[in-house]
Amino acid sequence: MLTDAQCRNANCPPEKKRVRLTDSGGLYLEISPNGRKRWFQKLYIDGKETRLALGSYPAVGLTAARRARDAAKVQKADGVNPIQARKLEKIKQAVSEGETFEHVAREWYNQKSPQWSGHHQTRELRNLEKDLLPWLGKRRAGEIEPVELLIHVRKVEARGSLDVAHRVLSTARAVFGFAVATGRAQRNIAIDLKGALTPHRGHHFAAITDPVKFGELMRAIRSYKGGLVVRAALQLAPMLFQRPTELRAAEWSEFDLDNALWTIQAKRMKRNRDGKEFGEPHLVPLPTQAVEILRDLHYLTGNGNLLFPGEKSRTIPISDNTLRAALQTLGYGSAVQTVHGFRATARTLLDEVLEFDPLVIEAQLAHAVRDANGRAYNRTTYLKQRQAMMQRWADYLDQLAAGDSKVLKLKRA
């Protein structure tokens, strides 16, 4: 057994490469000719002799070296490779300066955000910078407790923003998951908070699906006395049932009226970043009624890029609120019928009343429909079927507006 005095006075003659002073349990002190002294422990891993470095003397004294030796023995008895465990510890120490929640969150955002759409990038960054980093940014990610995170997410909830609170928690869950994966935290504490927030029930866009009541709305739209540009948009919204943003920001260059086709470029569709950059455009067949409305509208706005320019600038389309306000004027508030809700109306009536193939309907809605093998159908397929469907839909709207008793009684057999 070594003594501290032996360790302190030990030296290596110049003619030798090293001197080793053995203690017990495989522990020894190795002295180099330059006077450097280091602790090692002899181990047998998978039947092969190796050694574990335990530090330099005198920074690591004899007692501390023996403790490290005993700890390594316990690890080995538990089936843990002490050498691999020590390497992992060094890796963790090397990244210690990057362990704050803000550092981890920024690293996560920079790595993941290039694959997101611009809208998703903005929302995730807002969640971080407004509701997480001001309170948790300087804390080590691995030391934050679930209750700390809950306190700050509940501040968002207290503002009455239940949906935002759930999104902020989702952002935190992704950051802590990244922290675990990169060795900056032991567990994802955000998962522990599942069910801790007030449940948020996502609202559906209000939509009329009763043929009689929808016929009343069609008559109201056709009697709209507002501006001609808004009137045209209001008539096309239920007829083409595309997303409000896709309709109101439509450009004349997207339309081929002679061939009755509207081509919406991928960058304007609701898709992820790759889908916007490399995806196929969405094709919208135009019924004859839509072509007629568009030809009339062209006399008003055809000298510019936009179909529906706003009143203040011809380079900025009408706002989201314009059509909403128009419906409100007609007596159809957001609790009864929304512009986005025209999509649900069309989906329901095309399926349940006109009995079109749901796959064709979903293609027209620009939804990626998957088959039994999980493969997504191309959004631009079923074009011939959709041409027939869109013309039948426009004719059906005319019949509803006219109060045709025959179509009002149509039901699935």
DSSP letters for 127-141:
HHHHHTHHHHTTSBG
pLDDT tens column, 27-41: 999 999 988 999 998
Lowest mean pLDDT segment, chosen from 142-151, 204-213, 341-350: 204-213
pLDDT of residue 380: 52
CATH topology of domain 98-193: DNA polymerase; domain 1 (1.10.150)
Query: Is residue 59 pLDDT above 50, yes or no?
Result: yes
CA distances from 411 to 112, 169, 211, 348, 404 (A): 48, 45, 10, 12, 14
Residue 23 is which amino acid? D
Cβ atoms of 141 and 176 within 8 Å: the answer is yes
Residue ranges covered by each domain of the chain:
4-94, 98-193, 211-408
Q: What are phi and psi of 45, to 5 degrees?
A: -115, 120
Average pLDDT, integer, range 354-381? 71
Return the percent helix, strand and coil in the chain, to nearest 5.
55, 10, 35
Q: Is the pLDDT of residue 51 over 80?
A: yes
DSSP 333-396: -TTT--STHHHHHHHHHHHHTS---HHHHHHHTT---B-TTSPBPPTT--HHHHHHHHHHHHHH
How many whole angstroms separate alpha carbon 67 and alpha carbon 73?
A: 10
Average pLDDT over residues 172-185: 92
Under DSSP, the state recorded for 306 is: B
CA 237 – CA 248 distance, rounded (Å): 9
Local structure of residue 297 (DSSP, 8 states): H
Tell me, what's the pLDDT at 104?
A: 93
pLDDT in the model for residue 413? 38
Euclidean distance between the first and final Cα of the chain, in Å? 95
| pLDDT score of 139 more than 60 | yes
- Write the single-letter amino acid at 300: L
Instruction: Examine the pLDDT at 117 and tell me if it is beyond 80.
Output: no
The CATH class that applies to domain 4-94 reads alpha beta
pLDDT, one tens digit per residue, over 197-245 is: 877 655 567 899 999 999 999 999 999 998 999 999 999 999 999 999 8
Helix (H, G, I), strand (E, B) or coil at 255: strand
According to CATH, what is the number of the domain 211-408? 1.10.443.10
